[in-house]
Amino acid sequence: MLPGDARGRLAGIRIAPADVGSAGLGALLAVWQGQALHDAGAAQPDRWARRAVVVGDAGRGDDLALTLVQHGLAIVWPPDLPPNCRIRYLQAERQARLVRRGRWAVAESRLLEAADGARVALKAGEVVVMEGKVMHVGQTRTTTYLNFGARQVGASAEIAMPVWRALERQGWTTQSLRGQNVRVRGVASLGRPARVLVDDAALIEFQE
């Protein structure tokens, strides 16, 4: 349980503005209303001092966040989740996407093509999932950029140096990333090119 004065957010997911207005979201929240909150224990409080919480039993896969993912009403946020839970959540998201359930049935809310920077720019300020082939990797003293698509047309993934160092410890290199298909999660941002801000190593995945 959380302390009486604590505030919580559902661990393992992010809910985008387009999902908030869904009738399905309201119906599911009503079903789970009154369930006990449990501190997820896997993430620090966010900038609004909210703890990551679980509603239900995450160990059994019977929890509100996973249910929302299965119904296509939330995006998986791996940094909140212990490694043994991430695969289950990501598989649930993949299945919802394949059958176009919830958000994945709406063209504007589907997986973003990283080569289409204009579409990424339209999502500025929102949490998105973007996928594409890395055409070039650029670096400054503080940031690594994964560039997708044609120059000034495709989007970029912007990775702060501490996150990049964590990826290097996992065996990632600028050379190994070129030509690879990757999926990134983060907040879309305007720029030349448009970009997705990646602030945790768990938000980047190799795709076959």
pLDDT digits (tens, 9 = 90+) for 142-200: 999 999 988 889 999 999 999 999 999 999 999 989 999 999 999 999 988 899 999 99
Kindly report, residue by residue over 72-97, the tens digit of the pLDDT. 988 999 988 888 888 999 999 999 99
Last residue of a domain, one of 105, 122, 141: 105
Residue 187 belongs to domain spanning = 111-207
Whether the CB-CB separation of 15 and 93 falls below 8 Å is answered with no
Boundary residue ending a domain (73, 105, 137): 105
Rounded Cα gap, residues 68 and 74, in angstroms: 6
3 upstream amide cis, omega within 30 of 0: no
Largest CA distance in the chain: 52
Amino acid at site 69: V
High-pLDDT (> 70) share of the chain, %: 74
pLDDT range class, residue 56, cuts 50, 70, 90: low
Tell whether 74 is covered by a domain.
Answer: yes
Identify whether residues 97 and 129 lie together within a single domain.
no
